[in-house]
Chain A
Amino acid sequence: MIGGRLLALMEQLGGMSVLAARMVWGLVTLRADRTEFWRNMYRVGVKSFPVVAVTAVLVGAITVIQTGQVVAEFGATSLVGWGTSFATLREIGPILIGLMFSGRVGANNTAELGTMVVTEQVDALRALAINPIDFLLAPRYLAIIIMMFMLTIIGNLMALLAAAGTAYVLLGVDMRLYYASFAELIELWDFFSGIIKAVGFGSAIALVSCYFGINTSGGAVGVGRAVNSAVVASAVSIFVLDFLLSAMLP
């Protein structure tokens, strides 16, 4: 049983590497479809903006609530800006926006591709001599990575604003004090390390969702199963990548 699971895992990892190589090759040689790319940028980015914004605002507020008690006990009001911004920029922002993004965009992408596969639309593309990887997958891959990058930047900003507001309402920390502590103690690298993580998560989500979508089989039940496996695999890869990137980035 252990051997079987291991073999299945290795097969999936191998399939993903081959798929990634072919998608990147399609992008590098500029054979990827450009209209499809812009359409996906809109669908992936603009359509998931409200969800990401709501998550980011709540996350910023929760961060302050959880650190609030320590701050109130020690009277360390000058550190609250540093603590919450550091945690948000480095860890919480990218991870939670990534999980939300994998739910909204990754699951949607898998469902859409899976539906196309089980209703034989992908076979129809092949019959018309259109390469499904260049036409369907490569534009989505690039669009998801770019939009994860941008949405994380916007989400970080909204989370920090919400954190400043909550700190003012709940702890009575003046917003100027919050900003001063933020500006003094946060380095530019803290922001960039979060962004690098976000790009890593974005590529993992894109690859996993495309792989499970294009390998769907077995009708309506198969689509549901594919989406389930895709979101589970995205969540695992987000946490594993986060650990590796946190260890590697200074």
Chain B
Amino acid sequence: MATEAAPAPQPTQGEETPLLHRFLEGVGGPFTFVGREIFELIRVFALTFFYLFYRPIRWREVVRQCYEMGYRSMFFIAVVMGFLGMIMVMQTGLQAQKMLGDLSMIGALFLQLLFRELGPTITAAMIAVRVGTGLAAEIGSMVVTEQVDALRMNDAEPVQYLIVPRVIACLFMTIVLTCIAMVISFASAMAGAYLMFDLNPRTFYNTDLLIWGDFITFAMKSLAYGIVIPVIGCHAGLAAFGGSEGVGMATTRAVVNASLGITFVDFALSAFGFVFIY
């Protein structure tokens, strides 16, 4: 971004701003930036919510977006989650061998951690990478090529026409993809445990530590991520300006905001689960 290179050290001239002003600017700048970003996100979310209930929904577009987001990202998510399962079982297995000498509980612990944390969160991070940037790139290109202005000219509200179907599709597909990803991750962990530590799959499949609270955490997390990711992606896309540089900035903004948003939601919901459920 060319704008970042601009603020070079300013030579001391007569009409320099006072030190106090610059200090206050430096301290307050990040806060106003973050505050404005959050305000804009809430605005997009509220608009989406409004059009979701008070205007007709384009179900055909929803189905097409489900195909684009769900089916097209399945391979990517399967690869990542398969490797994740093997990594986790390898690390915990080595440590359990060293510290306890007993590997029979690995499966139960892994299943618990998968439901509480890894399944929803890592899948959501991957969906943010694949779908969030895709949304920002697609809508950002529409904005800079003035297709969104053309929509407005034709009395079609962009939020209703473009964003509502995408949010519905992404919410639905996040849940589906999380379930698929967890099955794949568990299967690969089971295979890894069998190949690396000779652990019988029957021993590995152990649901003793799972409680109903884990399912509630899992459902809350994937629902929250399913809403956070498309709203952030679409907001970054709609806020794009300028030519191809603007599209690049929009995609970067989408992936950074979405990853931060996921981490915040994860922290909040994990703390909620720890205090109220377990």
- Which residues of A pack against B, CB within 8 Å? 39, 43, 47, 50-51, 54-55, 58-59, 61-62, 65-66, 68-69, 86-87, 90-91, 99-100, 103-104, 107-108, 110-112, 114-115, 118-119, 170, 219-225, 227-228, 231-232, 235-236, 239-240, 242-243, 246-247
Decide: B133 and A227 in contact? CB cutoff 8 A: yes
Decide: B91 and A91 in contact? CB cutoff 8 A: yes
Contacts A62-B117, A221-B141, A239-B84 known; A228 to B266 CB distance under 8 Å? no
Most buried by B among A50, A224, A235, A247: A224
Complex formed: what's the CA distance from A224 to B87 in Å? 32
Q: Restricting to B220-278, which residues have a CB under 8 Å from any CB of A?
A: 243-252, 255-256, 258-260, 263-264, 266-267, 270-271, 274, 278
B166 in the interface (beta carbon within 8 A): no
Chain B, 19-31, contact with A by CB distance < 8 Å: what is the 0/1 string? 0000000000010
What 8 A-B pairs have minimum CB-CB distances, sorted nearest first? Answer: A111-B248, A224-B137, A103-B255, A220-B244, A227-B251, A107-B252, A239-B83, A223-B244
> In whole Å, how far is A73's beta carbon from the nearest beta carbon of chain B?
9
Decide: B252 and A111 in contact? CB cutoff 8 A: yes
Decide: A69 and B80 in contact? CB cutoff 8 A: no
> In whole Å, how far is A203's beta carbon from the nearest beta carbon of chain B?
18
Complex formed: what's the CA distance from A228 to B72 in Å? 13
B15 in the interface (beta carbon within 8 A): no
Decide: A65 and B248 in contact? CB cutoff 8 A: no
Decide: A86 and B255 in contact? CB cutoff 8 A: no
Counting residue pairs across A and B whose Cβ atoms lie within 8 Å, the total is 157
Residues of B within 8 A of A58 (CB): 263-264, 266-267
Contacts A231-B133, A239-B80, A243-B83 known; A99 to B264 CB distance under 8 Å? no
| A-B contacts, 27 listed (Cβ < 8 Å) | A55-B263, A62-B117, A65-B267, A65-B270, A65-B271, A65-B274, A66-B113, A100-B256, A104-B255, A104-B256, A115-B245, A220-B246, A222-B244, A223-B247, A224-B140, A224-B248, A227-B137, A228-B130, A228-B251, A235-B129, A236-B76, A236-B79, A239-B80, A243-B83, A243-B87, A246-B90, A247-B90
Residues of A within 8 A of B91 (CB): 87, 90-91, 246
Complex formed: what's the CA distance from A90 to B250 in Å? 33
Q: Which residue of B lies closest to A240 (CB)?
A: B83
Decide: B133 and A108 in contact? CB cutoff 8 A: no
Contacts A225-B137, A235-B80, A239-B83 known; A61 to B248 CB distance under 8 Å? no
> In whole Å, how far is B207's beta carbon from the nearest beta carbon of chain A?
16
B126 in the interface (beta carbon within 8 A): yes
Residues of B within 8 A of A61 (CB): 267, 271
Complex formed: what's the CA distance from A119 to B245 in Å? 9
Q: Restricting to B106-149, which residues have a CB under 8 Å from any CB of A?
A: 113, 116-117, 125-126, 129-130, 133-134, 136-138, 140-141, 144-145
Q: Which residue of B lies closest to A90 (CB)?
A: B91
> In whole Å, how far is B50's beta carbon from the nearest beta carbon of chain A?
28
B193 in the interface (beta carbon within 8 A): no
> In whole Å, how far is A168's beta carbon from the nearest beta carbon of chain B?
15
Q: Which residue of B lies closest to A69 (CB)?
A: B278
Decide: B83 and A224 in contact? CB cutoff 8 A: no
Decide: A112 and B248 in contact? CB cutoff 8 A: yes
Decide: A220 and B247 in contact? CB cutoff 8 A: yes
Complex formed: what's the CA distance from A148 to B116 in Å? 29
B153 in the interface (beta carbon within 8 A): no
Residues of A within 8 A of B125 (CB): 99, 235
Q: Which residue of B lies closest to A234 (CB)?
A: B129
Residues of A within 8 A of B145 (CB): 220-221
Decide: A100 and B267 in contact? CB cutoff 8 A: no
Name the contact of B141 in the complex, choosing from A87, A170, A224, A242 (C-beta under 8 A).
A224
Name the contact of A39 in the complex, choosing from B5, B76, B259 (C-beta under 8 A).
B5
